Amino acid sequence: MPTLHTDRQYEEELQQLRAKILEMGGLVEKQISDAMTALIGRNSPQAQEVIARDHTVNYLDVATDESCTRLLALHQPAGRDLRLIMTSLKITTDLERIGDIAQNICERALELNQEAPLTFSSDLSRMAEWAQSMLRDSLDAFVREDTSLALQVCQRDEFIDSRTDELFREMLTHMTQDPQSVSRATRHLFVTKYLERIADHATNIAEMVIYMAKGKSIRHVSPPPASL
């Protein structure tokens, strides 16, 4: 258990920063989950709700930035506090982008709902589950400062990338066989790419968690190290 800061106000502000990141993380997880439900269930009202809620994610992004700026200006943080703030600044951007992706999925859902359903399954649900589990684990790793879980998330990204390629190929085959489906299948392809981007953002978060906990950067290391 880390020792508490001698400046209680500072300690409290750091706790509030962590809480903001978690609140934003929780909201973004819900946005993705609702967006996928709306897409698969062809539920337009639910898709519109997700789009309307994106401003809350944006608000939390700005609020987190402001908290970080305030902490940097007033407390001149060092060591682990500095790393927490740097990590928060980066994580918040990734979370905000994931929020945008949820909105994008819903926009595609609304478009798809104007047309007849596809006659083939594109296995987007499984892909979404993988991406969501990476996001969940990266946020858990942040809360628990669990670097082995964070490293696992980074290692899982490669699987998502290869699965995306497979899905692309499958969709192209369907499109060739059924040219009428091209417009709808292309939208599914977009969603596949969106989910792959969520996994990338979750990987970015996990990499920053490793930096926060160990002061070690594994960003842009491909493939990620087997151990830390």
Partner 1 sequence: MEKEHQLPTHAASVSLPRPSGNGATTVGDEQDIEIQIRDACLFYGKKQALYNINMDIGRHEVTAFIGPSGCGKSTLLRCLNRLNDLVDGVKVTGSIKIDGRETIDPTLDVTELRKRVGMVFQKPNPFPKTIYENVAYGPRILGVSNKARLDEIVERSLRGSALWEEAKDRLHDNALGLSGGQHQRLCIARTIAVEPQIVLMDEPCSALDPIATTKIEELIHELKQNYTIVIVTHNMQQAARVSDYTAFMYLGRLIEFGKTDKLFTTPEKQETEDYITGRFG
Q: Which is nearer to partner 1, 91 or 195 (CB)?
A: 91
Q: Which is nearer to partner 1, 76 or 227 (CB)?
A: 76
Q: How far is the CB of 151 from partner 1 (least distance, A)?
A: 18
Residue 101 φ/ψ, nearest 5 degrees: -65, -40
Site for partner 1 in 198-217 (CB under 8 A): 214-216
Q: Which is nearer to partner 1, 1 or 116 (CB)?
A: 1
Q: Which of 36, 20, 24, 22 is nearest to 132 (CA)?
A: 36
Q: Which is nearer to partner 1, 5 or 53 (CB)?
A: 5
Please identify which residue in the block is written with the tokens 């950067």.
217
Q: Can you read off the two tokens belonging to residue 59?
A: 């608000």
Q: How many angstroms separate the CA atoms of 200 and 207, rounded?
A: 10
Asked if residue 16 binds partner 1 (CB under 8 A), the reply is: no
Asked if residue 1 binds partner 1 (CB under 8 A), the reply is: no
Q: How many angstroms separate the CA atoms of 218 and 187, rounded?
A: 34
What separation in angstroms does the CA of 29 have from each of 24, 72, 112, 124, 171? 9, 28, 23, 17, 27
131 and 160 Cβ atoms separated by less than 8 Å: yes
Instruction: Report how many residues bind partner 1 under the rule CB under 8 A.
Output: 18
Q: Which is nearer to partner 1, 7 or 166 (CB)?
A: 7
Site for partner 1 in 74-113 (CB under 8 A): 76-83
Q: Can you read off the two tokens belonging to residue 43?
A: 């539920």
Asked if residue 117 binds partner 1 (CB under 8 A), the reply is: no
Give the interface with partner 1 as residue ranges (CB under 8 A).
Answer: 2-7, 10, 76-83, 214-216
